[in-house]
Amino acid sequence: MTEYLNYIVLFVLCLWIILTILLHTKWESFKTFLANYDLVALIPSWNFFAPNPPPGDYCIMYRFKTEKSFQKQSQWESIPMPKRKSYNFFWNPYRRDRKTIYDICSSLTDEWRDIQKLGYKHQFIQTSLPFLIIANFLPKIVRKKSSQASLYQFSILLINNSLKRNEPIFMSKWLNI
């Protein structure tokens, strides 16, 4: 009796694995068939970037002006990020920094698109939390570059490696340090 039970359990597990693999193929008719009959969601669906994959990576760029020459501005520079090391797959204390920057930039660009759709002016974005986080973080970096800097501006770029292009998403007005 237990031998038959072992075969039944093995058959069910194999069927479950096969159905799971088939669900993750591009076979659309099977996916719709399975969606109609898998009422309790026994077949797992692993969509790690569901429903849409991220469009790329974000980069915060900044530049500044000094008190002496308001007409002259520095070149655009990206905020410094630690380089990845070979051991980072095992221990990576900076992964949260990258994730935080991605989340803040993503939130800011979403809010900026919403504000533009509603037809509001640029000053409304300056009260958003993601804008304020970036605006309060950047003066420390700018001061390290130039102690004479009095104004700064930042921009968010969407870096799309698959298309090999950088797309500017947002640019702030000049802000006081």
Residuewise pLDDT in 10s, the chain (177 residues): 788 899 999 999 999 898 888 887 777 787 888 878 887 778 877 766 556 667 788 889 999 998 776 678 889 999 887 777 888 777 877 778 888 888 999 999 989 888 888 887 777 888 889 999 999 999 999 999 888 888 999 999 988 866 677 888 899 999 998
Helix axes 129-145, 95-118, angle to 10 degrees: 120
C-alpha closest to that of 98 among 114, 83, 118: 83
**Between the CA of residue 11 and those of 15, 24, 39, 146, what are the distances in Å?**
6, 20, 21, 69
- Residue 144 near residue 150, CB atoms below 8 Å: no
Helix axes 28-37, 2-23, angle to 10 degrees: 130
**Between the CA of residue 31 and those of 6, 11, 34, 83, what are the distances in Å?**
29, 21, 5, 41
**Between the CA of residue 122 and those of 31, 33, 34, 117, 148, what are the distances in Å?**
45, 49, 48, 12, 27
Amino acid at 114: D
- Residue 166 near residue 159, CB atoms below 8 Å: yes
Q: State the pLDDT at residue 153.
A: 94
Say which residues have a Cβ less than 8 Å from residue 169's Cβ, sequence separation at least 6.
58, 105, 109, 112, 156, 157, 158
Rounded to two decimals, the pTM is 0.65
C-alpha closest to that of 124 among 170, 168, 59, 163: 170
Instruction: Take residue 17 and report the two structure tokens written for it.
Output: 């694995």
Q: How many other C-beta atoms can be found within 10 angstroms of the C-beta atom of residue 104?
A: 19
Q: How many other C-beta atoms can be found within 10 angstroms of the C-beta atom of residue 167?
A: 12
